[in-house]
Amino acid sequence: MIKPVLKGQRLVALFLLGALLFNYPLLALFAGSERVLGIPLLYLYLFTAWIALIGLMALIIERTDT
């Protein structure tokens, strides 16, 4: 098991990353009318970032290194 303290700090770092990804000004970068495969870029970006964030959370929680 990794040290719980380290795990907690990683999660806080992830929170900060999420707060950055889900807010102005990064959102503004994707707010144009571009499409990827017909899907609006902003929509795609938000869900991709969301999935990535959840993936990282799972990684931090479930990983048991020494």
CA 62 to chain centre: 17
Q: Does 2 bind other proteins (CB under 8 A)?
A: no
CB contact at 8 A, 65 and 12: no
Q: How far is the CB of 7 from other proteins (least distance, A)?
A: 7
**Which H helix or E strand runs over 4?**
helix 4-21
Residues numbered 5 to 64 that lie near other proteins (CB under 8 A) are 7-8, 11-12, 14-15, 18-19, 22-24, 27-28, 31-33, 35, 37-40, 42-43, 46-47, 50-51, 53-54, 57-58, 61-62
